[in-house]
Chain A
């Protein structure tokens, strides 16, 4: 079946540090890949997505590249801000509308 494995958290960084949150997946065929973010007290929001191999999703300074050869979709940001503190979820969708999520990574950015 489909599955998503995400980097264990929590992750604590200083402002302006480089962020990587690893995500790998298992799925047949060509799933669509997503990163969702959940800010404190809010629902999950779509951060970025990629629907085919080598696509790069980007939004708000975050990027992730769909790597079919390594079945990965790592999230990166060159310089994090305190306002980026949130829980980040990697997810995939394959064939149906059902999303398969990873377990989430708590990011805390310190000033």
Chain B
């Protein structure tokens, strides 16, 4: 079965540094997402991306965050100046459907664990 690939699996960075988390969605998919889970807390929606622009974003997704689809295969999440509270598992997801959100099936990657020191 096709899968969403995320790299790296674990990233360690110093507070204030920029990080880029990388994702390769399934090749014919149209919608792309980032979610995160802080240790012991809920999985939280960050942003959705369709047709080369952000379609939805949460309050968490402030000016420190950006997403990009630089080529036909990669989907990246950039955190401009990391904070301690950005430490979390970040999940990328993609889906194919153009139909109503009700029937959408999301495919998730295995996540990147970001540790900000």
Contacts and interface: CB of A to CB of B under 8 A. Distances in A.
Interface string A18-62: 000000000000001000100001111110000100000000000
B80 interface: no
Given A43-B4, A43-B110, A51 B102 contact: yes
Contact of B91 (A43, A46, A93): A43
B48 interface: yes
A99 interface: yes
Interface in A70-106: 89, 91, 93, 95-104
B107 interface: yes
Contacts of A51: 102-103
A96 B43 contact: no
Interface of A: 4, 32, 36, 41-46, 51, 89, 91, 93, 95-104
Given A43-B91, A43-B111, A46-B106, A104 B43 contact: yes
Contacts of B41: 103
A91 to B, nearest CB: 8
Contacts of B111: 43
Contacts of B42: 4, 101-104
12 contacts: A4-B42, A32-B102, A43-B4, A43-B6, A43-B93, A51-B103, A91-B43, A93-B102, A97-B48, A97-B95, A101-B43, A103-B41
